[in-house]
Chains A and B, each alone.
Chain A
């Protein structure tokens, strides 16, 4: 296991800082430019969800090493209202806010592994992993 970094997300400036930190890790792991762009875009979507829907929270960034395989894992966690219907939230075009409704469903397509755990009234944790 590589290094692990925990960042706070409380403002839209923090979302930018998370993007920059994810870019840095992706470069260190040796991602191609396209894969860097995909994981940074995924991070941007999820960090914004944490801020807008979760009322703020944390991002945990981790460089992974599994044998010869290298990757990046990102965990976004909040103590917000939670998501009542995850299947619906994952649908293309579904939105409760004023976005395009592509955030969660689109993010899923940008990474290799995607896991979402949410409890109404407790909060939401989204974990994504992208392998090189």
Chain B
């Protein structure tokens, strides 16, 4: 069965959907992405849908599921490049894609992922709090 390729770039995974996906292909992408996030300890997933001519309720659900599963595995998901006609149709269809971060293009999507990762690293640096007296000793060294 055909598969949608997943590229790795540092701590991020990139997916560009360039075919008219049938439902089983979309489900396979959902499984593959979840496995890859786990395998490579990815911190972010960027999905480029600029070539998608429609997003119906099924594809919308798959995107929402990917974002949810990624979140559980401690990775951020950004969907980029939605065509305006697709966005209009999506809203009229009643799908709001809550919980999915979006960006206009790949560049902005990458910036979003990078800033999310940086915030995370800063939080990690702050967390091992040293007791007051020790802090003084380290300061003199």
A contacts, CB < 8 Å to B? 11-13, 15-16, 19-20, 23, 33-34, 36-38, 40-41, 44-45, 48, 92, 99-100, 102-103, 105-107, 109-110
B57 contacts A100, CB within 8 Å? yes
- Interface of A, secondary structure class, is helix
What residue in chain A is nearest B92 (Cβ atoms)? Answer: A109
Looking at the assembled complex, report how far the CB atom of B112 sits from the nearest CB atom of chain A, in whole angstroms: 25
Q: Which residues of A contact B88 (CB under 8 A)?
A: 34, 37-38
B22 contacts A12, CB within 8 Å? yes
Given contacts A48-B58, A100-B61, A106-B57, whether A13 and B93 have CB atoms under 8 Å apart is: no
Assembly CA distance A33 to B86 (angstroms): 9
A sample of 20 more A-B contacts (CB under 8 A), given A38-B92, A40-B53, A45-B93, is: A12-B24, A16-B20, A23-B53, A33-B85, A34-B84, A34-B88, A36-B85, A37-B53, A37-B88, A38-B88, A41-B56, A44-B54, A44-B58, A45-B56, A48-B23, A99-B58, A100-B57, A100-B60, A102-B93, A110-B89
Q: Is the CB of B51 closer than 8 A to any CB of chain A?
A: no
Assembly CA distance A110 to B86 (angstroms): 12
Contact of B94 among A23, A37, A106 (CB under 8 A): A106
| Sampled A-B contacts (5; CB under 8 Å) | A16-B22, A33-B85, A41-B54, A44-B54, A100-B95
A106 contacts B22, CB within 8 Å? no
Q: Which residues of B contact A15 (CB under 8 A)?
A: 22-23
Assembly CA distance A48 to B55 (angstroms): 13
B92 contacts A102, CB within 8 Å? no
What residue in chain A is nearest B95 (Cβ atoms)? Answer: A102
